[in-house]
Structure formats: structure tokens, C-alpha cells
Amino acid sequence: MTGKLILVRHGETEGNVAKILDTRVPGLPLTERGAAQAKTFGSSLSRPPKALFCSAALRARQTAGYIEAATGVPVEVLDNVHEVQVGELEGQHTGEAHAQFQRIYRAWHEGDLAERVPGGESGYDVLARFLPIIEDLRTTYLTDGSDGDIMLVSHGAAMRLVSRTLSGVAPPFTTNNHLDNTETIELVPRAIGGWECTRWGRFTPPFGYEVAPTADDPMG
């Protein structure tokens, strides 16, 4: 038996509602609806995780706090698993700003990780800070053959890029499939190395679904 790594997108924020590119830590808090989403997610788990982590962003810490309250599993805040940093696009909500970010983000998924958000991160930057944390969690919690999942509350764009890189699930599925608040990506470590994706939002393998692209709340 082995456990999964469950990546959880945080609950809804005012930034999500207003379509603001909100990436700097600590960022905006959960809305009342976002808090309710987090409470429902925590109380609906079939079993508690054996370890619970979150990013340093306020919305992730709040979401994880509700999961902790529902499960009794203490949450630990981790550095370097925050959202993609959008630099000069921070705080913007125009269609032009979203389109610029989406163009760069799609390029990352298609292999051009050197593309950089103006004043922000490249795909390489995101993976360089995030992937070592995932490897450390795998080594610490998922290599001893014991059962039980670990859970990391993080952010939509970062989660999708990291999961695409680790599991090989390919675009356009990975670029078009927006994750709703408190949706998950679930990854199982392979015995020979690498990861298998067993859930991506509402979808399960094989990931050949036709998912129309959406400009609604692409990240955060």
C-alpha cells in the first residue's frame, strides 16, 4: 500500500470573484463562500490525510485551517509552493492582462519554460522552487510503503504546471482544464520513479477529454 499526494486548490477569494491577478504573498483572504467551500471539503474527506501542508498565502492557510479543524491533522506552512508570480501584471483584471498571462502559461505547458511573465517568473523559476518540495514530501511520507495520503493546499496555475511536469499529462488538457476552488489533482508515486495522475479536477484517466478553454479565473 502507498498513499497519494493530493494537491488542493484553495477556496474562493475576492480576487477570484473580481478576476484579479493576485499572486503576491500573503494575498487576499477567502470570501464567505470560500470559507464554506473549505469547510465542506474538509468535512467530506473519507479519511484524514496523514500529513497536511499549505502555501504561505493567506487563502491557502485559511483553507488548510478549515481542513485541520475538520480532520484534526495539524497543518504545516511550507515556503516555495505559492502561486506563479505575475510581476507587472499583479493586481490587474483586464482581458488583456489575462490573455498575456495565458499566452505565457500555455507556452510553459508546451515546453517553452524560459518564457517569463514581465517582472515575474519563468516556468523554470516556478518548477525550481516547487519541485524540490514535492520530492521532499515524497521521500519523507510516500516511500515507506505505509498507507495514507498527504495533502498540500496550493494554487491553480502552479498546481497545473507542476502536475503536468511530474505526470506527463499533456496540453491542451492541462492548459484548458481550469481547476475550480477546492478541486484537487491527485498524484501517485510510481515504484520506478515519477508520478501517475489519478485525478485532475473532475476528471480521471485517461486524460483525452475535450475541454474548452476558459478565461474565467485562470489562476490564484
For residue 100, how many C-alpha atoms fall within 13 Å in the half-sphere facing its CB? 17
Cell numbers representing residue 157 in the block: 496555475
Specify the 3-state DSSP secondary structure of 77.
strand
Q: HSE on the CB side for 67, CA within 13 Å?
A: 33
Average pLDDT estimate for 17-36:
96
Contact, 77 vs 54, CB < 8 A?
yes
pLDDT at 72 (0 to 100): 98
As a whole number of angstroms, the distance between CA 31 and CA 60 comes to 12
Mean pLDDT confidence for 24-31: 97
Q: What is the pTM of this model?
A: 0.95
Architecture of the CATH domain 5-200: 3-Layer(aba) Sandwich (3.40)
Amino acid (one-letter) located at 83: E
Strands 5-9 and 184-189: antiparallel
Q: Are 54 and 114 in contact (CB under 8 A)?
A: no
- Give 103-157 pLDDT, tens digit per residue: 999 999 999 999 999 999 999 999 999 999 999 999 999 987 778 999 999 999 9
| pLDDT band for position 219 (cuts 50, 70, 90) | low
pLDDT tens string 60-93: 999 999 999 999 999 999 999 999 999 999 999 9
DSSP state of 23: -
Which of 77, 163, 162, 93 is closest to 128 using CA atoms?
A: 162
Q: How far apart are CA 35 and CA 67, in angstroms?
A: 10
Residue 98 CA to residue 215 CA, distance in Å, equals 7
Instruction: Label residue 216 by pLDDT band (50, 70, 90).
Output: low
Q: What are phi and psi of 134, to 5 degrees?
A: -60, -45
CA gap 49, 63 in Å, rounded: 15
pLDDT tens track for 10-23:
999 999 999 999 99
CA distance 126 to 58: 19
